[in-house]
Each structure stands twice: as C-alpha cells, then as structure tokens.
Amino acid sequence: MKKELLSPVGNFASLKAAIHNGADAVYLGGKKFGARAYADNFSEEEMLRAIKYCHLYNVKIYVTINTMIYERELEECMHYIRFLHQNNVDAVIMQDMGLIAMVRNKFPNLEIHASTQMHNHNQEQLKLLEELGVKRVVLARELSLEEINNLDTSLEIEAFIHGALCISYSGQCLFSSLLLNRSGNRGSCAGICRLPFTLVKNNEEIPTNGKYLLSPKEFSTIDNMKEIMDSNIYSLKIEGRMKSPAYVAFVTRLYRTLIDNYKKKKELIITEQQRKELALLFNRGFTKGHLFKDSNEFLMNSKTSNHQGIPIGEVIHITKDKIKIKLGEDLNQEDGIRFASTDKGMIVNFLYNEKGLLTNSITKNNICFVDNKIGLTEKGLVLKTIDNNLVKQLETIKEKKIPITCLLETYRNKPLKITLSDKEREYACLGPMVEEATSKETTEEVIREKIDSLGNTPFYLEKIEIRKDNNIFIPMSTLKNIRREVVEKLQKERENTIPHSFVEIEIPKKEKQEKKKRKVCNLNVLVRNEAQLKVCLEEKVNTIYVTNDDLYKKYKTEKNIYLRLPRVLTHFKEYNEENLLIGETGALHKYAKNNIVITDYYLNIANSEAIAFLLKLGAKRVTLSIENTIESIEKIVENTNDLEKIEVMIYGRPEVMVMKHCLLSRFINQEPICKVCTKKDNYYLRDRNNKLYPIKPEQSENHMTHLFHYKEMNELDNLKSYQRIGIENYRIEFLDETPEEVESILRKIGKCQI
C-alpha cells in the first residue's frame, strides 16, 4: 500500500521545512477553529500563499477545523470553509459532527478527514463516518497496530507515528477547561498533564518515582517502520504544530528516508548520530506508545515533563559567578543547557575554556566554564537541550527543484515554439516567426544555454530537445522571454491545482418555529451504586442512569432506568429494546435503531446542527457539552425546535480524563495481575494547590482509568436561568455521595417551580 508522510506546520518556515525535507502532505490551521490556538497559524492571506506553495511542489495541504463549534460560530466557520474550498485546499480536518453534516450537504466535493478529536477508536464509528461521507479517519493514539490492522473500512486510515502524546483519549479531556477555562476541545489546552502531582491512598501520600504522574514520553516509531509500512495505515502523521522549523525539518527527513529505504528494499537503519540529533531537538524520553503496547515506565516519564536533550557532562565545581563542567560532548556558544539537579536551564551566551578565556566552542573530554546566572548550588548531570549549530543547519533550507523537460522547435518562417512538461502536465508557448540568419547563426549550444538558465525558478531542466533548421536567427531576448513566459505558465498551473471541483448547494434556512417554553423540570440522575438508586426511585426522578450492568438488569423493569455504556468500546454486546446512555458515536450507530438511546455530554455537542444530526441518527435526547455557558446554550435553543430533547448537566463531579494507562497498576500493584481496582481503597491525585482528584479504575475488559475533578460542578443556583431559556431536562451526577446527601440535593431542587 502506498503511504503518505504527513508533517505538521505552525508557520511558513515550518511549511518550507516540511516540503523541502520530503513531506507528501502537511496539516496546518487558520487563526480560528484549530486545535492548536497557540501556534502561529495562518491568516487568510498566508493560507492562500501556503496552498499555492504546497501545490507547486505537489504536496497536499489539509486545514484543521478540529474544534468544537459554538452556535454563534457556525455561519463564520462555514464562510471560512467556503474560502478554503474555493481556493483549492485538499481537505479539511474536522471534529464537530454538526459542522461535518453541514459541510457534507453544502460542499459535497470537499474532502473531509475525521479528526482524532472525534475519539475514533472502534469499527462502528468508522461505519458511521463512511455513511457521513468522510474520506479519512484519524485514529485514536490508544489503538495498537494489531487493532488497526483488524479494522475493516473503506476510509483512508491516518495514525500518528511521532511526537507528543496526550495521556487522555483526545476529545475526551476536560482537565484544562474545568481547571483554567482553557479548553482542549477549543485548541487552548494548558497541558495540565505536564504538571506535578502526588498520589494519595485514602489520606496517605504514596511514594512514587517522580511527580509527573500524567506525563507521557515522546512518541517515536523509528525502530518499527517496517511493521508500519506493512500495515493498513495510509497516512503517517507527525505531531508538532507547536514545534520549531528545525524539528519539523529533521523529523520529516528522518521518516522520509526510512519510507524511501523500505520502498527500495534497503535496511531501515537509524545511526547513533541521528538518534542523538533527534533527542536534541525534542524528547521527554521516547516510547513506542500504545501503537506497540508500551505501558507503565515504558510509556510514561514521571521524573520530568521537560525536553531532556542529551547528557553532555557533569558539574564538578560551583562558585557564585561560574559553573565548572567536565564535558562528555561538544559544547558551543548559544547552545541551551539544563542542570538535572534543579531542572533549571539557560542559554550559554558566554563560554570559557579551562583558562577562563572566552571561546566559541569546546570539544568533549575538556573542561569549560559558564556563567552562573541561574544561582546553581548543586552539582550533577548537565544536559544539552539546544544545539545551536544543528538548528542553524536545519533552518538553512535548500529548496527542492522540480524536474522538467523541454522541447524547442525552431524552423524558418514558422513561429518559435517551446513546450515544457513536468510529467503530469504539458505547456506550449509560441513566439515570433523564426528568420533566416543574415550574418551570425543562432546555434544549438546558444539556445540550450539560454533555455537552461532557470535561475531562481523552482524548476531545473532535466532534459532538453531542440529541433531546428540550419542557419536560423533568434534574438537572445526572444529566447529569454519565451522561456520566462512558459515557465510562469507552468508554475501558475501547478500552484492553482484543483483537487476537487468547487460545488456549493444552497441549503434552505431552517424555519424557526414559535417555541412554547414550558415550566418543566425533568431531573435525570446518574448513580453509581444501589443505595443512591433507591433514593432516586423514592424521589421519583424522571430518568435514572446507572453505570453497572448488574444494577441495570436488576432494576430495568422500572422503565426509566438507563444503562450508561463505557466511553471506550471495542466490543459491542447485543442490546435490543434496552434503555442506553451513550458516550461515543460507535454505540450510537450500533444501537440507535433497536434501542432507546440518549447521548452523553462526552460527544462535545455545542450547536443545533450537531443536535439535529444525533436526533436524525435515532437519539431520543441529546446532552450538551458541559463546556457550554448559559449564553451559548441560549443561542442553541434559539435554533432548536426540539427543546424537550436537550439535556444539560447542572450538578456533579465530571471526569476530567479517561485513560488507557493505569496509574494504580504502575505505582500500587505488587502482583503479576493488577487487582488494585477491586479493593475498597480511595485513590487521588493531589495537585500543587492541594486539590484532590479522585481516581476510579474501570473494572472491565478495557481497564480504563477515570480521573474526576476536585470539586462538583454546581449550577443549581442558575436553574431559573436555564428554565427561562426553555431547558426542560437537567442532569445530576453522583459519585461518592451518601444516600442522605443524594436526598438533600434532590430535595433542594424540589419541583423546580419558577
């Protein structure tokens, strides 16, 4: 199977680095709607330039629109997508289901890729995406290569092969949003997983080998490229839109070499120098990730979440002004170093030799001094985190030249004709009539020299054929002009490659129906044990969601009991005429036809189009994302006629992460098979502010780990505001509340009368 090497681009320098180091395609974002809001990203003017530049070099360009889209943004977002489609972008990468449905209806020829933010991890989800008209799926990073190879789909499969890892399933992390109001689903993740935490059992702190308990290593598959090349994966994706152009250049070139060597049936060898340079550019330690079933210490780096570079020496003496280092590797002025004892780093602005004299470079096995501008007091290992010479070398980009062939026909009394070909297209241009030479003949050598002078153009002449009469004369200016004209035509034609013809279908605007805002307050309550459930039955709540199969089977005759299915599903049981609360789209596709289903807030619903899409698939009710504000919900309500089918969460302790990685197995388990989750102890992560986040392992075949927020989300005081805008269904979620606490909260809400 042909493979595509897909590189990340955060700015134009990175775009050039990717293209000229071997990328087949790049992905980048505009100033809005992309999941990397803190990359430089591209304005509309820069985007036009980027599209032309990519297509000039026959590189595909995919634009990220992979955030959750609020109601107020739909029109602007569709306008932006229209701009991209009209200007020949190859595909858009999307998360929001409502927006995907809109684009598929309005722009049927535009290629859509389903972002990993959609939590794509099972066969049923791929079936849904196929039906939706998506061309490619970007899979969750938690899937193994074996699982990927077992997927049966007509979709192109894209998977990450290198870069930073999220420890939570993508699109399922609310940590940054709930803690700092910086949403990962909106492109502004604060990287909470890279901060230090303490593990707590009941009220006791548990010793761990490091404090960075949620921080994965850097993903790298350089040693497993044969398996990847033999797999079902079509597009090999490098993460890194926030990384430097030097990083993009090196990583792209490295994987390009491996791919090409595989095609040529050469050995896939990585030299020690390449490994060193890769580590210098960025690493937190390397892992093969879930793709190759790494876990625990092979997956995570609990000692630090910073870039580690490579070891280059030891601090052997410290004064107030100077740090003395015994080098094991070369060190140069303007390199970056970090001291492992304190994790503090600095740029070496001044470098001194053993005699204390300033110098630009000192080779390994020698002594050097650097200024103690960070107040270092502890000896220990020195790491190099920036190699200035390597960065300069990588940022000095030699632009590729595109091979072309030329046929020049010059016959007396006929127009001069030049034809250029790039193997995909051919362009001809006619010049003035060719005259007979009256004095000096224009020789073939002269013609060849003038036509071959392509200078600063992106082309080089691979072959030239000249067909001519003898004794002809062509002015040098004519040769230059006709060469320039045909080269410009060829360049423009390449730049304006049209991957899909632009088609726009006029979609009738939805008719707004007059809504009767009823004074209705349906309480829909999620419980996690039988004691909580019994209270809800006594209080006669509208709907009860349970998280346990046995509890559901015991009480399902009550008719208003629903089973909440796991957020991660790889095996689907048979359900028929059951009540199900669904947290991922595969289960919706599988069960909506023969069961009564309600969708959970994990589907990140923030607009009326997404609601309409889910209802069309068969959902009875749709729970909105808890990242919506009252104001954003009011906008949704304005454009939704089915108010009775909307649910909002107003109380509960939400999950901030769902992880395939098991914290307790790594730090607590002492047995060959982990049984920690079967015991009654309570485990927490404690942050720097002494906030406790409950850890709840999932006792299932998937053995997921659920991490909960340190406090309850509580919108009870805003209940009347929700009722004012027309909301009828309200979600309450209980975690460890006692029956007495459950009863108190439910009675506080009472009958919700205005």
Q: How many helices and strands (H and E) does the chain possess?
A: 21, 41
Strand partners, 310: 384
Q: Residue 36's pLDDT band (boundaries 50, 70, 90)?
A: low
* Residue 181 within any structural domain of the chain: no
The pair of structure tokens assigned to 726 is: 């027309």
Instruction: For 417-476, write each residue's pLDDT tens digit.
Output: 999 999 888 989 999 999 998 888 899 998 898 888 888 899 999 999 999 999 999 999
Q: What was the pLDDT predicted at 564?
A: 97
> Mean pLDDT for the chain?
93
Mean pLDDT check: name the lowest of 35-44, 73-82, 205-214, 578-587. Answer: 35-44
Residues 575 and 714 in one domain: yes
Q: How far is CA 170 from CA 115, 184, 232, 261, 459, in A?
A: 9, 9, 21, 32, 42
Residues 232 and 338 in one domain: no
* Residue 296 within any structural domain of the chain: no
Q: What was the pLDDT predicted at 396?
A: 92
- Answer whether residue 679 shows pLDDT above 80: no
Residues 389 and 410 in one domain: no
Mean pLDDT check: name the lowest of 24-33, 56-65, 242-251, 522-531. Answer: 24-33
What are the b/e assignments for 241-274, b being 16+ CB within 10 Å? bebbbbbbbbbbbbbbbbbeebeeeeeeeeeeee
Q: Residue 677's pLDDT band (boundaries 50, 70, 90)?
A: confident
Q: What was the pLDDT predicted at 454?
A: 87
Q: Which long-range contacts (CB under 8 A, 24 or more apart) does 151-156 make?
A: 151/123, 151/126, 151/232, 152/123, 153/123, 153/126, 153/127, 154/130, 155/114, 155/126, 155/129, 155/130, 156/234, 156/235
Q: Residue 35's pLDDT band (boundaries 50, 70, 90)?
A: low
CATH number of the domain that 378 lies in?
2.40.30.10
Residues 82 and 160 in one domain: yes
Strand partners, 684: 200, 694
Q: Which long-range contacts (CB under 8 A, 24 or more apart) does 680-686 make?
A: 681/201, 681/202, 682/201, 682/202, 683/199, 683/200, 683/201, 684/199, 684/200, 685/197, 685/198, 685/199, 685/200, 685/213, 685/214, 686/197, 686/198, 686/199, 686/200, 686/205
Instruction: For 585-625, write each residue's pLDDT tens digit.
Output: 999 999 999 999 999 999 999 999 999 999 999 999 999 99
Domain boundary among 261, 290, 319: 290
Cα angle for residues 751, 752, 754 (degrees, 5° grid): 125
Q: Residue 69's pLDDT band (boundaries 50, 70, 90)?
A: very high
AA identity, residue 128 = L
- Average the pLDDT over 310-327 and give the result: 97
User: How many alpha carbons lie under 13 Å from residue 464 in its C-beta half-sphere?
Assistant: 19
* Residue 100 within any structural domain of the chain: yes
Contact 289, 141 (CB under 8 A): yes
* Residue 172 within any structural domain of the chain: no
- Answer whether residue 511 shows pLDDT above 80: no
Q: What was the pLDDT predicted at 753?
A: 47
Q: Residue 583's pLDDT band (boundaries 50, 70, 90)?
A: very high
* Residue 177 within any structural domain of the chain: no
Interacting residues of 90 by C-beta distance below 8 A, sequence separation 6+: 25, 60, 61, 62, 111, 499, 500
Instruction: For 386-423, write each residue's pLDDT tens digit.
Output: 999 999 999 998 899 999 999 999 999 999 999 999 98
Query: pLDDT > 90: what percent of the chain?
Result: 84
Phi, psi of 741 (to 5 degrees): -65, -40
The pair of structure tokens assigned to 210 is: 């490091």
Rounding to the nearest 10 degrees, give the CA dihedral for residues 710, 738, 718, 655: 40
The pair of structure tokens assigned to 663 is: 């914290």
Q: From CA 384, how far away is CA 362, in angstroms rounded?
A: 13
Q: From CA 563, how far away is CA 544, in angstroms rounded?
A: 9
* Residue 305 within any structural domain of the chain: no
Query: Cα–chain-centroid distance for residue 201?
Result: 34
Q: What was the pLDDT predicted at 352?
A: 97
Which burial class, exposed, middle or buried, applies to 375 when counting CB atoms under 10 A from its CB (0-12, 13-18, 19+)? exposed
Residues 545 and 645 in one domain: yes
- Average the pLDDT over 299-319 and give the result: 95
Q: From CA 120, how far away is CA 237, in angstroms rounded?
A: 15
Residues 667 and 714 in one domain: yes
Contact 381, 361 (CB under 8 A): no
Residues 489 and 590 in one domain: no
Q: Look-up: residue for tokens 């049936």?
A: 265
The pair of structure tokens assigned to 413 is: 């009394």
State which residues form the domain around 435.
Answer: 402-495
Q: From CA 29, how far away is CA 63, in angstroms rounded?
A: 5
Cα angle for residues 551, 553, 558 (degrees, 5° grid): 90
Query: Cα–chain-centroid distance for residue 103?
Result: 21
Q: What was the pLDDT predicted at 439?
A: 84
Residues 599 and 561 in one domain: yes
Q: How far is CA 358 from CA 138, 332, 351, in A?
A: 51, 11, 6
Contact 722, 630 (CB under 8 A): yes
* Residue 526 within any structural domain of the chain: yes
- Answer whether residue 700 shows pLDDT above 70: no
Residues 324 and 256 in one domain: no
Residues 541 and 624 in one domain: yes
Residues 704 and 619 in one domain: yes
CATH number of the domain that 233 lies in?
3.20.20.380
- Answer whether residue 670 shows pLDDT above 90: no
* Residue 15 within any structural domain of the chain: yes
Contact 155, 130 (CB under 8 A): yes
Q: What was the pLDDT predicted at 510?
A: 76
Contact 323, 369 (CB under 8 A): yes
Instruction: For 368-388, write each residue's pLDDT tens digit.
Output: 999 999 999 999 999 999 999
- Candidates 72, 104, 28; CA nearest to 503 is 104
- Answer whether residue 754 shows pLDDT above 50: no
Q: What was the pLDDT predicted at 665?
A: 84
Number of domains forming the structure of the chain = 4
Contact 417, 409 (CB under 8 A): yes
Residues 540 and 476 in one domain: no
Domain boundary among 345, 379, 395: 395
Q: 415-421 and 136-138 as β-strands: parallel, antiparallel, unpaired? A: unpaired
- Candidates 240, 216, 228; CA nearest to 165 is 216
Q: Residue 124's pLDDT band (boundaries 50, 70, 90)?
A: very high
- Average the pLDDT over 538-543 and give the result: 92
Q: Is the dihedral of CA 533, 534, 539, 544 positive or negative?
A: positive
Domain boundary among 262, 290, 318: 290
CATH number of the domain that 608 lies in?
3.20.20.70
Q: What was the pLDDT predicted at 721?
A: 92
